[in-house]
Structure formats: structure tokens, C-alpha cells
Amino acid sequence: MYLGLDLGTSGVKALLIDEDQNVIGSGTGTLDVTRPHSGWSEQDPAHWIRATEDAVAALKASHPKKLAAVKGIGLSGQMHGATLLDGDDKVLRPCMLWNDTRSHVEAAELDSNPIFRALSGNIVFPGFTAPKVVWVKNNEPEIFAKLRKVLLPKDYLRLWLTGEHVSEMSDAAGTSWLDVGKRDWSDDLLNASGLDASYMPSLVEGTDVSGSLKAGLASRWGMGSQVVVAGGAGDNAASACGMGTVAEGHAFVSLGTSGVLFAANNAYLPNPASAVHTFCHALPGTWHQMGVILSATDALNWYAGITARKPAELTDELGDSLRAPSGVTFLPYLSGERTPLNDSAIRGSFYGLEHSSDRASLTQAVLEGVAFAFRDCLHALATAGTRLDRVTAVGGGSRSIYWLKTIATALNIPVDVPADGDFGAAFGAARLGLIAAEKADPRAICAAPATEKTVEPDTRLTADFDAAYRRYHNLYPALKGVQS
């Protein structure tokens, strides 16, 4: 048996697979996000431990004998979070999460230093780890003075599991401290942030062994004494391992809290000016590019809260047949935007409201706004040298066929829907645990699932969607002028 632990923003998922990669069972633990000020987003790392205990306890309750057969654990986690520890590994402050944008000034200052784009291959976004630590240095000097180690969220979980300070390439690539081409920490980037290599964990590939499960945890969970913990991956790279998106030309669109258009690459292809993320993949010798939008299902969940309806009720209200855009446009910039805008200050809006604008037309606009944000990402990936012919849909939002029709038509490419199964980040993490424990061939293990159906673009509405996208695209500079 092999266990995948996925530390997300809203919870921890524990997923168990057997040697044939059949999903045996899963358990979850919930998490909350605190937002004490505009642009802030934080979690207490102690809550990650509690949620992991809850997730494993749920799994143990349903499959106690199966846990005894676990040989490997893989980790996946939300990226970019700054978990700050003192010399005794005590947490110094709440972790600043991936969607925390308070450090936009520090990010701009770091990004103005050309070595960051040259070595990291990326813009220094406010959500990345480096500017957050510089923000602490500037605003909480008493905490910075005690700082001895910076860990990403899943790597803090690893510290609790194994006692080791270790990260891996895919997650480390999102800190702005990694030389992504060389797959190693950069002394120059660390020094430019007021740090040095001693503050960093050691690095392994995602398929490597990073340590062994502590005896006390193994005993409490009913596992053996020789359980290895794999390097693992950042959440998107882990999802790619779960989806089999590990080779050139393979891509997926993720409709989660945030949205991701992810393409695997066999070479390092940075193009920071496009605001595309170019990161190491979880498999050795591979990289990937991502266009990232900060609010995908988060936008629909926000609107559902406003309307006092469940998201599924709102999408069901639209029916099965794709509608032409109504004239109402939604910009999904609820917490700023990454690709291609790199704008932490911009905020969302509805445009084109009129007396006939009902709840359904606004729901439709929200789905279209997210789809058009993915179209921005598609153009950005093309600028960075990656052209996509089709994508596979993953994430909670992919359960809405209407939304998938909207995305397929907005992008003008087919969207494949995998056969029933759990192919997300927790499954990818479990695969990495299997590879590390058995020294298995990564590409043989990370195979793509069967496709259940393909959602084709609705060519009858191509012209209507093109016109609606132009309106969407033109609204940002106008709104930027109002909000600046």
C-alpha cells in the first residue's frame, strides 16, 4: 500500500492506493483561512498537523489492516507559503499562503533586480515565498531576527513526519530562490533576499526518498517501521503526476480554488515576460509551464454565497445547452491576478448589467469570466513557446459539463474528461510514494487515465465567444485606470 497526503488550502486529503494503483480509500481533514487584513491570507501550521491526523484517522477507521501494509508516503501541498521556524523548529508566525498579496511592494523590488528573472525563470509574484520573507524582514524585524529555517507548507508536514528539513524541485521552484534550470538553490537570489543557504531545506527530486516516517507516528497509525517518505511535489505538479501529464505535449486545465493551465515540457523554457510560471516538474529532468489564475471555483463559490445558492444549483440552472454570452462580463480578479497581468491590486467586477440581467445570466458571466482568464493563459503559454491542441479537465469545477463546454468554446480546443476515478494531487502524491519505495520507473507509474468523454468547442458560438472575449480583454485596462 502507498499513501498520498495532499495539504490543500481548504483541507488535507489522505488517499491510499495498492501496488496496482487501485484507490483503496481516502479520508479528509478540514482547514480554514484567516484574512485579518485586505490582501492577507494565513493559516496556522499546527492546523495542518491536526487536519492530517484527522484525515489519516478517517482512513484508519475504514481500512486499519490496509494501513499496516503502507511502504511509501508521498506529499503534495499548496505552493509558495512561507512557514518560518526558529532554531528549535518552532513556528514564528502564521504561514502566509499562496494567495497572500501583502508583499507586492517587496515583490516589485526583487523583480526589478534582473537576476531573479534570469535565474528563477519567473516574475517575482507577490504570492511567491521570497517577497513574503522580505516583508517580514521589513515589517516584523523581531520575528526575522529569530528566523532560522523557511519551509513550504508540505515540507513543514514532512518535518513533522520525518524530522527532516527537505524540499523538492517542483515546490522549491515557486519560491524565487531556486535556479530552475540548474535545479538548485541560488546563493545570489538568497543573498538578494537577505538570506543564505543555511535557511533552506536540502533538495531532492520528487521521486526520491526524503526520509522515513517517525516510529511514534508509524505506531499510532498502525504502520510498519520502514515507511519511506518521497520528495513529493507542489500541488499542480502532483496533480500532473496523477493525470499522467509528465511528457511533452500533455496538458490539463484545473478548476480548483485557483485555476491552472498546465503543460509538461522536456526542457527548461523560461519566458518571464509572459507571466507564465516555468517550474521544475516532480520527475527528474522534466519541467512544466503554467498559466495561473487566482480565482476559479473560488469565484463561483463567492457568487454562490452572495446568492445563497449552492454552486451546483447555479450551474444546473443554466441547463445542458451552451448559451451565447449575454452581454454581462465578469472579471474574476477577486484577489488580484497572476497570468498574464501580474497585478495584485486589481479587483473583480461585473460589467454590462441591465434590467434583464437575472441570476442565471450572472452565473453564466462568472463561468465565462473564468474561461476567458484561461484563454489569457493559453495565449501566454503560446508566447512562451507552448501550443496546446487539447487539455484534460481536473478539479471540482470540472463536474459541471456546462462549464467545460464554456471552456472548450472559449479556448477553441477539445476538453477531455477522464473516466471516473480520483486522479488529483493526493493520487499523484501516492504515485510518488510508490516510485520512491519501489524504485519504480516514474513514467511507467505516471500513466494517463482513460478518457470517458470529450467536450468539443461549440463552433456555432465561436464568433459570439470571440466578441465576448474581446470585451473581457478590453475591460482590464479600463478598470485598472479607475482603480489606480
- How are beta strands 228-230 and 72-77 bridged, if at all? parallel
For residue 484, the model assigns a pLDDT of 61
Angstrom distance (rounded) from CA 452 to CA 469: 29
Angstrom distance (rounded) from CA 232 to CA 133: 24
Residue 464 annotated to the active site: no
For residue 423, the model assigns a pLDDT of 79
pLDDT tens digit string along 294-335?
999 999 999 999 999 999 999 999 998 999 999 999 999 998
Angstrom distance (rounded) from CA 51 to CA 269: 37
Contact 25, 84 (CB under 8 A): no
Contact 250, 244 (CB under 8 A): yes
Rg (CA), the chain: 21
- Cα-flanking dihedrals φ and ψ of residue 110, to 5°? -65, -40
Residue 353 CB partners (closer than 8 Å, separation 6+): 328
For residue 384, the model assigns a pLDDT of 87
| Prediction pTM value | 0.88
Residue 215 CB partners (closer than 8 Å, separation 6+): 225
Contact 368, 407 (CB under 8 A): no
Q: For 164-316, list the strands marked E by DSSP.
A: 166-168, 178-179, 184-185, 202-204, 209-212, 228-230, 233-234, 251-255, 259-265, 277-280, 287-293
**Share of the chain residues as helix, strand and coil, in percent rounded to the nearest 5:** 40, 20, 40
Query: Which residues in the chain come in under a pLDDT of 50?
Result: none
Give the residue carrying C-alpha cell 487539455.
Answer: 391
Question: DSSP H helical segments within 265-345, as ranges?
Answer: 297-307, 311-316
Question: DSSP H helical segments within 78-214, as ranges?
Answer: 104-111, 114-120, 129-139, 141-144, 153-162, 169-172, 187-192
> What are the angstrom distances between the C-alpha of 411 and each of 153, 391, 414?
33, 10, 8
Angstrom distance (rounded) from CA 406 to CA 366: 11
Angstrom distance (rounded) from CA 319 to CA 14: 34
Angstrom distance (rounded) from CA 132 to CA 457: 41
Question: DSSP H helical segments within 262-296, as ranges?
Answer: none
Contact 328, 353 (CB under 8 A): yes
For residue 91, the model assigns a pLDDT of 98
Selecting among 235, 298, 343, 416, the annotated active-site residue is 235
Question: Quick one: which of 141, 103, 99 has its CA closest to 124?
Answer: 103
Angstrom distance (rounded) from CA 282 to CA 331: 32
The CA-to-CA distance between both ends of the chain, in Å, stands at: 54
Residue 476's Cα: distance from chain center in Å?
24
Angstrom distance (rounded) from CA 257 to CA 254: 9
Residue 353's Cα: distance from chain center in Å?
32
The single-letter code of the amino acid at 172 is A
The single-letter code of the amino acid at 10 is S
